[in-house]
Protein backbone atom coordinates (compact mmCIF):
# COMPACT_ATOMS: atom_id res chain seq x y z
CA UNK A 1 0.00 0.00 0.00
CA UNK A 2 2.96 2.30 0.57
CA UNK A 3 3.76 1.81 -3.10
CA UNK A 4 0.26 2.93 -3.98
CA UNK A 5 0.64 5.95 -1.71
CA UNK A 6 3.96 6.82 -3.34
CA UNK A 7 2.53 6.42 -6.83
CA UNK A 8 -0.51 8.60 -6.14
CA UNK A 9 1.44 11.31 -4.29
CA UNK A 10 3.82 11.47 -7.21
CA UNK A 11 0.95 11.75 -9.66
CA UNK A 12 -0.66 14.50 -7.59
CA UNK A 13 2.50 16.56 -7.34
CA UNK A 14 2.99 16.31 -11.11
CA UNK A 15 -0.40 17.88 -11.64
CA UNK A 16 0.26 21.49 -12.56
CA UNK A 17 -3.30 22.42 -11.63
CA UNK A 18 -2.74 21.04 -8.16
CA UNK A 19 0.58 22.79 -7.65
CA UNK A 20 -0.73 26.15 -8.84
CA UNK A 21 -4.23 25.99 -7.36
CA UNK A 22 -3.43 24.08 -4.21
CA UNK A 23 -0.03 25.46 -3.21
CA UNK A 24 0.89 28.63 -5.10
CA UNK A 25 -2.56 30.25 -4.91
CA UNK A 26 -2.92 30.24 -1.11
CA UNK A 27 0.61 31.63 -0.76
CA UNK A 28 -0.07 34.41 -3.25
CA UNK A 29 -3.42 35.25 -1.72
CA UNK A 30 -1.87 35.34 1.72
CA UNK A 31 0.85 37.71 0.63
CA UNK A 32 -1.63 39.91 -1.23
CA UNK A 33 -4.23 40.08 1.54
CA UNK A 34 -1.67 40.97 4.17
CA UNK A 35 0.45 43.45 2.22
CA UNK A 36 -2.06 45.41 0.15
CA UNK A 37 -2.72 48.92 1.37
CA UNK A 38 -0.19 48.57 4.15
CA UNK A 39 -3.03 48.34 6.64
CA UNK A 40 -2.23 44.97 8.10
CA UNK A 41 -0.97 44.55 11.60
CA UNK A 42 0.94 41.61 13.03
CA UNK A 43 -2.24 39.92 14.27
CA UNK A 44 -3.77 39.78 10.80
CA UNK A 45 -0.50 38.53 9.35
CA UNK A 46 -0.66 35.59 11.75
CA UNK A 47 -4.42 35.11 11.48
CA UNK A 48 -4.42 35.22 7.69
CA UNK A 49 -1.43 32.91 7.59
CA UNK A 50 -3.41 30.28 9.44
CA UNK A 51 -6.52 31.01 7.39
CA UNK A 52 -4.70 30.66 4.09
CA UNK A 53 -2.75 27.58 5.22
CA UNK A 54 -6.09 26.06 6.16
CA UNK A 55 -7.57 27.15 2.82
CA UNK A 56 -4.67 25.49 0.99
CA UNK A 57 -5.00 22.35 3.08
CA UNK A 58 -8.74 22.16 2.44
CA UNK A 59 -8.24 22.60 -1.30
CA UNK A 60 -5.53 19.94 -1.42
CA UNK A 61 -7.58 17.55 0.68
CA UNK A 62 -10.62 17.95 -1.59
CA UNK A 63 -8.38 17.46 -4.60
CA UNK A 64 -7.89 13.82 -3.54
CA UNK A 65 -11.52 13.30 -4.52
CA UNK A 66 -10.84 14.82 -7.93
CA UNK A 67 -8.11 12.24 -8.37
CA UNK A 68 -10.47 9.41 -7.45
CA UNK A 69 -13.10 10.64 -9.89
CA UNK A 70 -10.48 10.83 -12.64
CA UNK A 71 -9.17 7.33 -11.87
CA UNK A 72 -12.70 5.99 -11.87
CA UNK A 73 -13.41 7.61 -15.22
CA UNK A 74 -10.32 6.29 -16.98
CA UNK A 75 -10.75 2.76 -15.61
CA UNK A 76 -7.67 2.80 -13.38
CA UNK A 77 -9.72 1.85 -10.31
CA UNK A 78 -11.18 -1.07 -12.25
CA UNK A 79 -7.72 -2.12 -13.33
CA UNK A 80 -6.65 -2.12 -9.67
CA UNK A 81 -9.51 -4.50 -8.94
CA UNK A 82 -7.90 -7.14 -11.14
CA UNK A 83 -4.62 -6.92 -9.22
CA UNK A 84 -4.17 -8.58 -5.82
CA UNK A 85 -4.81 -5.23 -4.10
CA UNK A 86 -7.94 -5.23 -1.94
CA UNK A 87 -10.51 -2.43 -2.26
CA UNK A 88 -9.81 -1.53 1.35
CA UNK A 89 -6.15 -0.94 0.56
CA UNK A 90 -7.10 1.26 -2.37
CA UNK A 91 -9.43 3.45 -0.30
CA UNK A 92 -7.00 3.65 2.60
CA UNK A 93 -4.14 4.42 0.21
CA UNK A 94 -6.16 7.24 -1.32
CA UNK A 95 -7.03 8.70 2.08
CA UNK A 96 -3.37 8.62 3.07
CA UNK A 97 -2.50 10.26 -0.24
CA UNK A 98 -4.83 13.08 0.73
CA UNK A 99 -3.16 13.44 4.09
CA UNK A 100 0.26 13.67 2.47
CA UNK A 101 -0.64 16.06 -0.31
CA UNK A 102 -2.05 18.67 2.10
CA UNK A 103 1.40 19.12 3.63
CA UNK A 104 3.03 21.23 0.88
CA UNK A 105 0.26 23.84 1.06
CA UNK A 106 0.49 24.11 4.84
CA UNK A 107 4.28 24.27 4.77
CA UNK A 108 4.36 26.83 1.95
CA UNK A 109 1.96 29.28 3.58
CA UNK A 110 3.60 28.96 7.00
CA UNK A 111 6.98 29.51 5.36
CA UNK A 112 5.68 32.63 3.63
CA UNK A 113 4.42 33.88 6.99
CA UNK A 114 7.69 33.26 8.78
CA UNK A 115 10.10 34.26 6.05
CA UNK A 116 8.30 37.03 4.16
CA UNK A 117 5.80 38.49 6.60
CA UNK A 118 7.96 38.19 9.71
CA UNK A 119 5.46 36.17 11.76
CA UNK A 120 7.21 35.09 14.94
CA UNK A 121 6.10 31.99 16.87
CA UNK A 122 7.82 29.55 19.20
CA UNK A 123 9.14 26.41 17.56
CA UNK A 124 6.52 24.26 19.29
CA UNK A 125 3.82 26.63 18.08
CA UNK A 126 4.89 26.31 14.47
CA UNK A 127 4.88 22.54 14.83
CA UNK A 128 1.54 22.47 16.66
CA UNK A 129 -0.12 24.76 14.08
CA UNK A 130 1.10 22.56 11.25
CA UNK A 131 0.00 19.33 12.95
CA UNK A 132 -3.43 20.69 13.89
CA UNK A 133 -4.08 22.01 10.39
CA UNK A 134 -2.95 18.67 9.05
CA UNK A 135 -5.30 16.70 11.31
CA UNK A 136 -8.07 19.20 10.71
CA UNK A 137 -7.88 18.55 6.96
CA UNK A 138 -8.89 14.89 7.32
CA UNK A 139 -12.66 15.58 7.21
CA UNK A 140 -12.11 17.44 3.93
CA UNK A 141 -10.23 14.52 2.43
CA UNK A 142 -13.25 12.37 3.25
CA UNK A 143 -15.62 14.94 1.76
CA UNK A 144 -13.50 14.94 -1.40
CA UNK A 145 -13.51 11.14 -1.54
CA UNK A 146 -17.28 11.12 -1.10
CA UNK A 147 -17.63 13.49 -4.06
CA UNK A 148 -15.06 11.61 -6.11
CA UNK A 149 -16.68 8.21 -5.73
CA UNK A 150 -20.16 9.56 -6.31
CA UNK A 151 -19.64 11.99 -9.19
CA UNK A 152 -17.90 12.12 -12.54
CA UNK A 153 -14.51 13.79 -12.87
CA UNK A 154 -16.03 17.01 -14.17
CA UNK A 155 -18.79 17.36 -11.62
CA UNK A 156 -16.36 16.42 -8.85
CA UNK A 157 -14.17 19.34 -9.88
CA UNK A 158 -17.13 21.69 -9.69
CA UNK A 159 -18.45 20.23 -6.42
CA UNK A 160 -15.03 20.44 -4.82
CA UNK A 161 -14.58 24.02 -5.92
CA UNK A 162 -17.98 25.03 -4.57
CA UNK A 163 -17.28 23.26 -1.26
CA UNK A 164 -13.84 24.79 -1.06
CA UNK A 165 -14.76 28.40 -1.86
CA UNK A 166 -18.06 28.33 0.02
CA UNK A 167 -16.68 26.83 3.19
CA UNK A 168 -13.51 28.91 3.07
CA UNK A 169 -15.26 32.23 2.66
CA UNK A 170 -18.06 31.50 5.13
CA UNK A 171 -15.56 29.95 7.53
CA UNK A 172 -13.57 33.17 7.55
CA UNK A 173 -10.39 31.82 6.00
CA UNK A 174 -10.20 34.63 3.46
CA UNK A 175 -11.50 37.64 5.40
CA UNK A 176 -11.57 38.25 9.14
CA UNK A 177 -14.86 37.31 10.78
CA UNK A 178 -15.05 40.83 12.19
CA UNK A 179 -16.10 42.02 8.73
CA UNK A 180 -19.12 39.65 8.68
CA UNK A 181 -22.67 40.57 9.72
CA UNK A 182 -23.78 38.93 12.97
CA UNK A 183 -25.89 36.13 11.47
CA UNK A 184 -23.09 35.06 9.15
CA UNK A 185 -20.64 35.07 12.03
CA UNK A 186 -22.80 32.65 14.00
CA UNK A 187 -23.25 30.45 10.95
CA UNK A 188 -19.50 30.53 10.48
CA UNK A 189 -18.97 28.86 13.86
CA UNK A 190 -20.61 25.70 12.54
CA UNK A 191 -18.35 25.33 9.51
CA UNK A 192 -15.42 22.96 9.68
CA UNK A 193 -13.26 25.54 7.94
CA UNK A 194 -13.80 28.09 10.68
CA UNK A 195 -12.96 25.53 13.32
CA UNK A 196 -9.83 24.22 11.64
CA UNK A 197 -8.50 27.80 11.58
CA UNK A 198 -9.56 28.29 15.17
CA UNK A 199 -7.44 25.29 16.17
CA UNK A 200 -4.39 26.89 14.60
CA UNK A 201 -5.18 30.37 15.92
CA UNK A 202 -5.57 29.26 19.51
CA UNK A 203 -2.19 27.58 19.45
CA UNK A 204 -0.57 30.56 17.75
CA UNK A 205 -2.05 32.70 20.53
CA UNK A 206 -0.43 30.43 23.09
CA UNK A 207 -3.61 28.63 24.20
CA UNK A 208 -4.67 25.01 24.12
CA UNK A 209 -6.91 24.03 21.16
CA UNK A 210 -10.51 25.03 21.88
CA UNK A 211 -12.78 22.15 22.83
CA UNK A 212 -15.62 23.58 20.79
CA UNK A 213 -13.45 23.43 17.69
CA UNK A 214 -12.52 19.82 18.34
CA UNK A 215 -16.20 18.92 18.88
CA UNK A 216 -17.41 20.63 15.68
CA UNK A 217 -14.60 19.11 13.63
CA UNK A 218 -15.30 15.65 15.04
CA UNK A 219 -18.93 16.01 14.06
CA UNK A 220 -17.91 16.95 10.52
CA UNK A 221 -15.40 14.12 10.46
CA UNK A 222 -18.19 11.65 11.20
CA UNK A 223 -20.56 13.27 8.71
CA UNK A 224 -18.05 13.40 5.84
CA UNK A 225 -16.72 9.96 6.77
CA UNK A 226 -20.20 8.46 6.46
CA UNK A 227 -20.72 10.31 3.19
CA UNK A 228 -17.47 8.85 1.86
CA UNK A 229 -18.40 5.32 2.94
CA UNK A 230 -21.89 5.55 1.41
CA UNK A 231 -20.52 6.98 -1.84
CA UNK A 232 -17.85 4.32 -2.01
CA UNK A 233 -20.29 1.47 -1.40
CA UNK A 234 -22.56 2.76 -4.12
CA UNK A 235 -19.71 3.19 -6.57
CA UNK A 236 -17.95 -0.08 -5.74
CA UNK A 237 -20.53 -2.09 -7.65
CA UNK A 238 -19.91 -0.23 -10.87
CA UNK A 239 -16.17 0.46 -10.73
Partner 1 sequence: MSFTGAVKAFGTVRAVDGVDLEIGRGETVALLGRNGAGKSTTISLLLGLDEPDEGTVALFGGPPSAAVRAGRVGAMLQETRPVPRVTVRELVSFVAGRYPAPLPVADALELAGIADLAGRRVDRLSGGQAQRVRFAMALAGNPDLIVLDEPTAALDVEARRAFWDSMRSYARRGHTVLFSTHYLEEADAHADRILVIDHGRLVADGTGEQLKRSVGGNLVAFDLAGRGTEGLTLLPGVVSVEVRGDRALLRTDDSDATVLALAELGAIRGLEVVPASLDDAFMALTSHVLETV
Residues that bind partner 1 (CB under 8 A): 3-4, 7, 10-11, 14-15, 70-71, 73-76, 78-79, 81-86
Smallest distance from partner 1 to CB 177, Å:
38
Please answer whether residues 206 and 85 qualify as being in contact, where contact means their C-beta atoms are separated by less than 8 angstroms. no
Contacts of 191 (CB under 8 A, 6+ apart): 167, 170, 171
Classify residue 206 as left (phi > 0), alpha (psi -120 to 50) or beta: left
Smallest distance from partner 1 to CB 132, Å:
30
Smallest distance from partner 1 to CB 85, Å:
5
Any idea of the CA torsion for 184, 187, 188, 190, to the nearest 10 degrees? 180
Q: Which is nearer to partner 1, 76 or 180 (CB)?
A: 76
Smallest distance from partner 1 to CB 236, Å:
11
Question: Angle CA(208)–CA(164)–CA(80) in degrees, nearest 5?
Answer: 100
Q: Which is nearer to partner 1, 16 or 115 (CB)?
A: 16
Q: Which is nearer to partner 1, 1 or 32 (CB)?
A: 1
Classify residue 88 as left (phi > 0), alpha (psi -120 to 50) or beta: alpha
Q: Which is nearer to partner 1, 18 or 30 (CB)?
A: 18
Amino acid sequence: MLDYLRLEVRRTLRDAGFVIGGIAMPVMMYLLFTNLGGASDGGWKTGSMIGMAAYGAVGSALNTGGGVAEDKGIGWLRQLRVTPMTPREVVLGRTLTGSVTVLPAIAAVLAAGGLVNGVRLEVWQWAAVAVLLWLGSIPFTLLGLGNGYRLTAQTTGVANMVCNLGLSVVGGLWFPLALFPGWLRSLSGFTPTNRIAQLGASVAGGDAPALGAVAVLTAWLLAFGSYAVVSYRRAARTI
